């Protein structure tokens, strides 16, 4: 028996949860915490795949939250680069 694909509402909930998680990781990175982000890329890729399985109108409805996720990922990457630069310059956490 196969699992039915997630509904648009389920995907929206997952998208919001992942976006929140990414924002929390950004805050933690700026505090100098070291995190294991293993699996985040797979989670995001699976969510994107799920979105492509939605009817076009429902997939488009996810666009604003997807944009927030992309912005959050960009900000997380910048925070991690900033933290790395501080560590390399001896600034530490």
Whole-number pLDDT of residue 4 = 86
> Is residue 88 in a domain?
no
Residue 89: its pLDDT value, please?
85
For residue 21, which phi and psi values (nearest 5 degrees)?
-60, -45
pLDDT recorded at residue 3: 84
Q: Find out whether 35 and 28 touch, Cβ atoms under 8 Å.
A: yes
- Print the domain residue range for 71: 8-82
Q: Which residues of the chain have pLDDT under 50?
A: none
In a domain, 68, yes or no: yes
In a domain? residue 93: no
Q: What are phi and psi of 28, to 5 degrees?
A: -65, -40
**Total structural domains within the chain:** 1
| Position 60 in a domain | yes
Note the pTM of the prediction, 2 decimals: 0.85
Q: What is the pLDDT of residue 91?
A: 63
Report if residue 92 sits inside a domain.
no
Q: Which two tokens stand for residue 48?
A: 């994107």
Residue 56 forms part of a structural domain: yes
**Residue 58: its pLDDT value, please?**
96
Q: Does residue 22 belong to any structural domain of this protein?
A: yes
Q: Is residue 1 part of a domain?
A: no
């Amino acid at each position: 028996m196969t699992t039915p694909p997630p509904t648009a509402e389920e995907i929206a909930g997952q998208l919001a949860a992942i976006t929140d998680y990414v924002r929390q990781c950004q805050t933690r990175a700026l505090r100098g915490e070291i995190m294991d982000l293993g699996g985040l890329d797979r989670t995001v890729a699976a969510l994107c795949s799920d979105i492509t399985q939605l009817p076009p109108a429902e997939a488009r409805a996810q666009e604003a939250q997807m944009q927030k996720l992309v912005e959050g990922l960009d900000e997380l990457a910048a925070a991690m680069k900033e933290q790395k630069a501080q560590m390399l310059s001896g600034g530490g956490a």
